[in-house]
């Protein structure tokens, strides 16, 4: 009876480990969304740098174009594009009916969209590319700056990263990159707006995956050890054969 309960406990632990591992694996595709870095800045920050990170989610096609649309309700002033080897950038602008005053004087034109087109092979499967821009000043009001984006593959497929999270759909399938502008703190230093080598969320998810794998391995070893001990208690060898007869 005790042996049966022990094995049930081991099987339950094994099932829990498998569920945790499956949960982490199913959550992994969220890393592959087109994103903007940093994701948060104080409103009104000057001389910012934003980076659009684009992973390739397909196994049989390269990413050959990225088009990012800039919102009109939260315009970024004096946008410049950092050259990316293997890509050509096209910047579209519009003229404002009323100029916006900036630290460098009035601005009467703002960027509406930027298109990066591959001049070589583009982004291969299993790879990603960063597309940096700089802006003279972020909008002075707090809120969300939504950069709806189109990702084009060499197969002709276009993935539209244009969905906005809502209470009804907090985790849309193809979310648009979002920069959150917070109220500026008079005492807090202004952070340097650079793209991280790897996001904190990805690091936490990877750590959880490693822990899940180690836990699952430990449960398997315990099950094997318990089985061997039970076989010895029954008077059998580890391979299940009865012990040799004694004279």
Q: Which parts of the chain are beta strand (E)?
A: 35-37, 40-42, 46-55, 63-69, 77-81, 87-102, 105-118, 128-137, 143-146, 149-153, 158-161, 178-182
Query: Is 65:54 a contact under the CB 8 Å cutoff?
Result: no
Task: Enter the tokens of residue 144.
Answer: 């969300």
Write the CA distances from 135 to 26, 70, 143, integer angstroms: 36, 12, 17
- Put simply, whether the predicted model's pTM sits higher than 0.85 gets the answer no
Q: Label the pairing between strands 40-42 and 178-182.
A: parallel
Structure confidence by residue, pLDDT tens digits, 149-203: 999 999 999 999 999 999 999 999 999 999 999 986 544 444 444 444 444 445 5
pLDDT at residue 244, rounded to an integer: 56
Query: Is 41:59 a contact under the CB 8 Å cutoff?
Result: no
Q: Nearest to residue 67, comparing CAs of 155, 143, 164, 159?
A: 159
Coil/strand/helix, residue 142: coil
Structure confidence by residue, pLDDT tens digits, 190-242: 444 444 444 444 555 555 565 666 666 665 566 566 665 555 555 555 455 55
Write the CA distances from 154 to 32, 119, 123, 127, 149, integer angstroms: 18, 12, 10, 15, 17
Give the number of other Cβ atoms within 10 Å of residue 83's Cβ. Answer: 9
Task: Enter the tokens of residue 99.
Answer: 């100029």
142: Cβ contacts below 8 Å, ≥ 6 apart? 43, 181, 182, 183
- Cα 14 from chain centroid (whole Å): 29
**Can you name the residues that pair with 49 across neighbouring β-strands?**
134
Tell me, which fold does domain 39-195 have in CATH? Immunoglobulin-like (2.60.40)
Across all residues in the chain, what is the average pLDDT? 77
**Tokens 């982004």 identify what position?**
123
């Amino acid at each position: 009876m005790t042996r049966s309960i022990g094995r049930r406990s081991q099987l339950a632990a094994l099932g829990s480990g498998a569920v945790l591992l499956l949960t982490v694996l199913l959550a992994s595709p969220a890393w592959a969304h087109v994103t903007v870095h940093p994701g948060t800045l104080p409103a009104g920050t000057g001389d910012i740098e934003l980076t659009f990170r684009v992973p390739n989610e397909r196994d049989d096609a390269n990413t050959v174009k990225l088009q990012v649309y800039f919102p009109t309700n939260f315009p970024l002033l004096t946008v410049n594009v950092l050259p990316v080897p293997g890509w050509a950038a096209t910047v579209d602008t519009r003229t404002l009916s009323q100029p916006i005053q900036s630290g460098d004087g009035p601005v009467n034109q703002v960027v509406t969209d930027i298109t990066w087109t591959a001049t070589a092979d583009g982004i291969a499967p299993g790879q990603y590319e960063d597309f940096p821009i700089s802006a003279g000043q972020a909008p002075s009001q707090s809120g969300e700056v939504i950069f709806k984006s189109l990702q084009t593959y060499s197969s002709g497929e276009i993935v539209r990263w244009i969905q906005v999270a809502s209470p009804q759909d907090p985790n849309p399938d193809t979310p648009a990159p979002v920069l959150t502008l917070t109220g500026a703190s008079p005492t807090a230093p202004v952070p340097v707006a650079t793209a991280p080598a790897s996001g904190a969320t990805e690091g936490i998810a990877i750590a959880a995956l490693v822990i899940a794998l180690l836990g699952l391995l430990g449960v398997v070893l315990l099950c094997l050890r318990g089985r061997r001990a039970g076989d010895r208690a029954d008077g059998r060898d580890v391979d299940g054969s009865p012990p040799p007869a004694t004279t």
